Chain A
């Protein structure tokens, strides 16, 4: 079944989790990757993480007794690659704008 397009927030969460991270570190990494453009509140982030967990794209790991971290699953990596490819195609198709002088 064709993958549904992701929201921007979901895309950046998966991107940030190329390296396993805990929740607050993830927030900071997302802000860093997006150049400060995308900041997420903790509740919003947690909601996205819960959804991605339910869909099997990420998993929760126990690094130590105090902290839990999130990491991509194989399905998550594939979903990220597919989304990236889709976005690249969109950009390539958008080259038409330059041809039209816009």
Chain B
């Protein structure tokens, strides 16, 4: 027997649920079971069926809330077949136009059945607010108060932060709309007006906006992933990046010791108006090792690169004792014990270099040499 899983409307959208299941029945899919986000359908002959939602009274417990057997019995004797239920939402079905009485003819009394759902909606809103607050707090703590880290993330994956904000925003907006919508329904029904089953186009538009914005962000991330290439660290074939060979280290390429054995490589990722080169290279000569880690950015303008230089300095892993240095061919450079940052035109780079030397002075000299080679490479017209 063919089965189909399909996402269903939210619990608060009672009219939407009823229309959705009736529409599926017209297309030959009969509701079998309802989950948290998806409903399971079974293939049957298309039929005109009317669905009605009955809300159980919340017992205060999480999970399934069953309708009393005597209530189901009464409804079934009136011609409504019990289909399935999950949480507070239970569904009944009757052939369309068969004359079965509506489940309720007194809106004021039916309004009371919304109370459990309203209580759940309020709890969800509180949960969404707390979740968002905790997330924002963790993000702030992770920054260690450094906005520079967020700038780097925004550069490397520009839509990641907006995507997170869209997800948080849609969660909060959805929870808030649920509370407002159910409250409006309840007040309307207490005044004697029947349940409003009309489509909520306003909310659908807002929801569509969230989806569209999220899709754009995801599309960009997919574009980035698809456009990412991995290169071997070979001189002359890695764009603006350095390789250890250029610095006189000609040992054998080896795997990274601390990153689950990943191979030495240079990954090129497209950015908005530029590219990001992320390299990691280790070469072994006998018992000694030289390693080079670098992030090189080709940006849309020299101004962007000039602004990035200090940010790379601030976020450097070994950024202590960084001093400004003069290097021919570079617009700006700083050099520390193990790390250096350089800017030239629309390019900016952060280099971490560890070579087998005797002392810190030699290590620093190796970094200065790397900056010189980098400047020559960036200024080479070929």
Interface residues of A (CB under 8 A from B): 9, 22-24, 27, 39-48, 60, 67-68
- Set B80, B112, B113: member contacting A42, Cβ < 8 A: B80
Interface residues of B (CB under 8 A from A): 54, 69-71, 73-75, 77-78, 80, 101-106, 109-110, 112-113
Instruction: Tell me the complex Cα distance, A43–B189, Å.
Output: 15
7 contacts between A and B (CB under 8 A): A23-B74, A41-B101, A41-B104, A41-B105, A42-B78, A45-B74, A46-B74
Q: Which residues of B contact A47 (CB under 8 A)?
A: 104, 106, 109-110, 112-113
User: Nearest Cβ distance between residue A42 and chain B, in whole angstroms?
Assistant: 5
Asked if A46 and B71 make an inter-chain contact with CB atoms under 8 angstroms apart, the answer reads yes
Q: Which residues of B contact A45 (CB under 8 A)?
A: 74
Closest to B102 in A: A41
Closest to A69 in B: B70
Interface Cβ pair total, 8 Å cutoff: 59
Q: Which residues of A contact B104 (CB under 8 A)?
A: 41, 43-44, 47
Instruction: Tell me the complex Cα distance, A42–B80, Å.
Output: 10
Q: Which residues of B contact A39 (CB under 8 A)?
A: 101, 105
Asked if A42 and B74 make an inter-chain contact with CB atoms under 8 angstroms apart, the answer reads yes
Asked if A42 and B109 make an inter-chain contact with CB atoms under 8 angstroms apart, the answer reads no
A24, A44, A67, A68: which has the most chain B beta carbons within 10 Å?
A: A44
- Set B73, B103, B112, B113: member contacting A41, Cβ < 8 A: B103
Instruction: Tell me the complex Cα distance, A68–B73, Å.
Output: 9
Q: Which residues of B contact A44 (CB under 8 A)?
A: 104-106, 109-110
- Set B78, B109, B112: member contacting A24, Cβ < 8 A: B78
Asked if A42 and B101 make an inter-chain contact with CB atoms under 8 angstroms apart, the answer reads yes
Instruction: Tell me the complex Cα distance, A44–B103, Å.
Output: 7
A40, A46, A48, A60: which has the most chain B beta carbons within 10 Å?
A: A46
Instruction: Tell me the complex Cα distance, A42–B109, Å.
Output: 12
Asked if A68 and B70 make an inter-chain contact with CB atoms under 8 angstroms apart, the answer reads yes
Asked if A23 and B105 make an inter-chain contact with CB atoms under 8 angstroms apart, the answer reads no
Closest to B69 in A: A68
Q: Contacts A41-B102, A41-B103, A43-B104; is A23 near B109 (CB within 8 Å)?
A: no
